[in-house]
Structure 1
Amino acid sequence: MKDAVAALGGDGSSAQLAGMAELIIQSMTGPWRSFHTPEHIFEVGDGGSPVEVIAALFHDLVYVQVDSGIHVNLARYVAPYVREGAKGLVIDPMREGSDQDLDLVMDLFGFQRGQVLSPFAGQNEFLSALLAVRLLGGILPLPALAQVAACIEATIPFRADLPDGRSCSTVLLQRLTQASLDHGLGLSDAQCRETVVMGVKVSNRDVGNFASEHPSDFLNNTWNLIPETNHELLNADTYTVKGYRVSLQKMEGFLGFLQPGVVFRQFDQEPSNEEHALRLRMAQSNLEVARLYLRLKLVAIALLEAMSWRLVQEVSLASIMGKLPGIGDMPFQLEDQLPLVAQPYIGQNECEITVLHLLEDGRSGESTHDSKHSPVASYLVRSIGVSTALSLLERARLFFANQLSADDFLASLDKPVMQGLQRAVIHVLDQRVQALRDL
Structure 2
Amino acid sequence: MMELQVARTRCKDRLVWAIAQLEGKSDPVQIEKITELIIQTMTGPWRYFHTTEHIFEVGGSVDAIEILAALFHDIVYVQVDHGMNLNISRYLAPFILEDKGKLVIEKPATLPNDLMFEIVMAVFGLVPGETLSPFKGQNEFLSAVIAAMALEPLLSPSLIAQIAACIEATIPFRGLSESGLTPSERLYERLIAANHHFNFGWDEAQTIAVVKRSVRLVNRDVENFAFPNSADFLDNTWNLMPETNHELSHADSYTVQGYRRSLHKMEEFMNFLKPEIVFQQFMEEPDDPTYRILISRTQKNLEVARLYLAIKVITIAILEAISYRLGRNIPLSTLMGELPRPGTITPTLAQFLPDLLIPLEPKTTLEAEVLDLLIQGRNQESVYDLKNSPVATYIIRSIGFDSVGYLLKQAKAFFAGAISATDFLRELKSEVLSTIINAVEQVFTNRIEALRELSLDTTFSQTKPH
1:21 aligns with 2:35: yes
- In the alignment, what sits opposite 1:3? 17
Query: Helix, strand or coil for the counterpart of 2:98?
Result: strand
User: C-alpha distance in 2, partners of 1:428/1:354?
Assistant: 30
- In the alignment, what sits opposite 2:114? 99
Q: Which has the higher helix share?
A: 2
1:325 positional shift: 2.4
User: C-alpha distance in 2, partners of 1:160/1:12?
Assistant: 40
Deviates more, 1:33-42 or 1:360-369: 360-369
1:253 positional shift: 1.1
User: C-alpha distance in 1, partners of 2:342/2:25?
Assistant: 48
Paired letter, 1:39: E
TM-score when normalising by structure 1: 0.98
Query: Helix, strand or coil for the counterpart of 2:272?
Result: coil
Which of 63, 67, 73 is the matching residue for 1:53? 67
- In the alignment, what sits opposite 1:323? 338
Per-residue displacement from partner, 1:85-123 (whole Å, max 9, x unpaired)? 115111111524532111111111011111111111000
- In the alignment, what sits opposite 1:430? 445
Deviates more, 1:328-337 or 1:65-74: 328-337
1:155 aligns with 2:184: no
1:328 positional shift: 7.1
Which of 121, 124, 142 is the matching residue for 2:139? 124
- In the alignment, what sits opposite 1:340? 355
1:411 aligns with 2:426: yes
1:146 aligns with 2:161: yes
Contact 2:310 2:404 in 1 (8 A): no
Unaligned 5+ segments in structure 2 are 1-14, 455-466
Alignment of 1:216-235 (within 5 A): 216-235=231-250
1:47 positional shift: 3.3
User: C-alpha distance in 2, partners of 1:87/1:331?
Assistant: 44
In the superposition, relative to structure 1, how do residues 161 and 96 fare at CA in structure 2: closer, same or farther (>3 Å)?
closer
Contact 1:2 1:13 in 2 (8 A): no
1:210 aligns with 2:187: no
- In the alignment, what sits opposite 2:57? 43
Query: Helix, strand or coil for the counterpart of 2:192?
Result: helix
Contact 2:111 2:128 in 1 (8 A): no
Paired letter, 2:98: E
Extract structure 1 runs of 4+ deviating beyond 3 A.
Answer: none
In the superposition, relative to structure 1, how do residues 14 and 314 fare at CA in structure 2: closer, same or farther (>3 Å)?
same
Deviates more, 1:23-32 or 1:426-435: 426-435
User: C-alpha distance in 2, partners of 1:33/1:97?
Assistant: 33
Query: Helix, strand or coil for the counterpart of 1:84?
Result: strand
- In the alignment, what sits opposite 1:71? 85
1:322 positional shift: 1.3
Query: Helix, strand or coil for the counterpart of 1:89?
Result: strand
Deviates more, 1:216-225 or 1:84-93: 84-93
Per-residue displacement from partner, 1:291-325 (whole Å, max 9, x unpaired)? 00001000000000000101111110011111112
Contact 1:299 1:390 in 2 (8 A): no
- In the alignment, what sits opposite 1:247? 262
Paired letter, 1:163: E
Paired letter, 1:80: P
Unaligned 5+ segments in structure 1 are none
- In the alignment, what sits opposite 1:185? 200
Contact 1:366 1:372 in 2 (8 A): yes
Paired letter, 1:46: G
- In the alignment, what sits opposite 2:413? 398
User: C-alpha distance in 1, partners of 2:335/2:53?
Assistant: 35
User: C-alpha distance in 1, partners of 2:451/2:255?
Assistant: 22
User: Which structure would you say has the larger Rg?
Assistant: 2
Alignment of 1:371-390 (within 5 A): 371-390=386-405
TM-score when normalising by structure 2: 0.92
User: C-alpha distance in 1, partners of 2:230/2:317?
Assistant: 24
Task: Quote the RMSD (CA, aligned, Å).
Answer: 1.2
